[in-house]
Chains A and B, each alone.
Chain A
Amino acid sequence: MPSNMLTATRAMAKDHWLGLLEKLLNEIQGWTEKQHWPVISQDKQVTEKSLGTYDTRDLVIKAPGGTLLIEPVAHDVPNSDGRVDISSFPSMHRMLLIRNRGNWQLYTDSGVAWPKKWNRETFIEVAKILTTA
């Protein structure tokens, strides 16, 4: 592929991924605010060979049982189209949000698919489980 086409393809993939991330983070931020859980954004830079370096953000959420970190990890993940981690502090329990066939799917840290669809109810449930585990 000519290098200018490669650059354009990479730029499109990066824009698409950043759009997905921003939509997801805004959605989570909205859900937490409805719960009256304080949330702050922290700027973050990610570098991937396929996309180069890009700016995104982590969310730090103060849930009743503890602190949650929502952390974009990478777009380039085998068999999927991106990964965002949900970790709790200080217990360090973690779940993975994996982008699969146009949808976000939750997985346990040991790689088992969570049996519920990703939506507000699932997020609240998982947030409670993670922060009280």
Chain B
Amino acid sequence: MKTRIFFERIKAVESEQRIAALAVGRFMEATQHTPLLLSNHGLRDRDVRECQRHLEGTYVIRLFAEFEIALRFIWQHVRHSPNPPRTQISRLMDAMVARHHVPTDAAQAAHDVREYRNDLVHQGPPRTLLTIAESRSRLCNFLKFMPHYWS
């Protein structure tokens, strides 16, 4: 089994976000010419704008979910444990940092994405603003320090 699979899954989420952003942009254009596209579904212009505004954050949440799946999977398999760990993700990240000698900067950068994800989920004012590309880069950089292979 290879860690590379998780990089591919995380990258795929970023690609989906780009497709969704393009699609919403095109749809906004279309609704200016054909307002019925919205009103037929009980929607308004504002709904599409909100959708666009939240799109990147929504995908950051998914991106982090893939990262979390990866960490739990790697932890379980590297330790030959029958079940994935139920530990809080922040603690799991710290445990992985200690076990796999992840550089402090890389660990902090990934924790920043985790905090940003938490702010998005709980709709609190974000302490930091990260694009999806930055988030992907930080999470993949953390995963780079995980074992490349395991049985």
A interface residues with partner B (beta carbon < 8 Å): 47-50, 73-74, 76-80, 83, 92-94, 96, 98, 107, 109-111
B150: which A residues are within 8 A, CB to CB? 110
Instruction: Kindly state whether residue B61 has any CB partner on chain A within 8 Å.
Output: no
Determine how close the nearest CB of chain B comes to the CB of A85; give it in whole angstroms.
Answer: 9
B87 on the interface (CB 8 Å rule)? no
Residues of B within 8 A of A107 (CB): 101
CB distance from B56 to the nearest CB of A (A): 26
Query: Are B101 and A93 closer than 8 Å at their CB atoms?
Result: no
Contact B101 A83 (CB under 8 A): yes
A111 to chain B: closest CB distance in Å? 5
Residue interface bits B32-65, CB-to-A below 8 A is 1, else 0? 0000000000000000000000000000000000
Could you give 18 example pairs across A and B, Cβ below 8 Å? A47-B105, A48-B105, A49-B104, A49-B105, A49-B108, A73-B103, A74-B106, A76-B103, A77-B101, A77-B103, A78-B98, A78-B101, A83-B103, A93-B149, A96-B101, A109-B149, A110-B78, A110-B147
Contact residues in B for A76 (Cβ distance below 8 Å): 103-105
Return the CB mask of B82-114 against A: 1 if under 8 Å, else 0.
000000000000000111111111111000000
Known: A78-B98, A110-B78, A111-B78. A48 touches B103 (CB 8 A): yes
Q: Which residue of A lies closest to B77 (CB)?
A: A110
**A residues less than 8 Å from B99 (CB atoms):** 111
Q: Nearest Cβ distance between residue A68 and chain B, in whole angstroms?
A: 15
Q: Name the A residues within 8 Å of B107 (CB-CB).
A: 78
Are B104 and A74 in contact, with the CB atoms below 8 A?
Answer: yes
Complex-state Cα separation, A93 to B147, whole angstroms: 9
| In the assembled complex, B9 has its CB within 8 A of some CB on chain A | no
Give complex CA distance A48, B147 in Å.
22
The distance in angstroms between the C-alpha atoms of A74 and B142, with both chains bound, is: 13
The interface residues of chain A lying within 8 Å CB-to-CB of B106 are: 74
Min CB distance A131 to B, Å, is 15
Chain B CB within 10 A, most for which of A74, A77, A94: A77
Q: Is the CB of A78 within 8 A of B147?
A: no
In the complex, what's the smallest C-beta–C-beta distance from A98 to chain B, in angstroms? 6
Contact status B148-A109, CB under 8 Å: yes
* Min CB gap A127→B, angstroms: 17
Write out the residue numbers on chain B whose beta carbons fall within 8 Å of the beta carbon of A77: 101-104
Per-position 1/0 for B112-145, Cβ under 8 A of A: 0000000000000000000000000000000000
Known: A94-B148, A111-B78, A111-B147. Is A78-B104 also a contact (CB below 8 A)?
yes
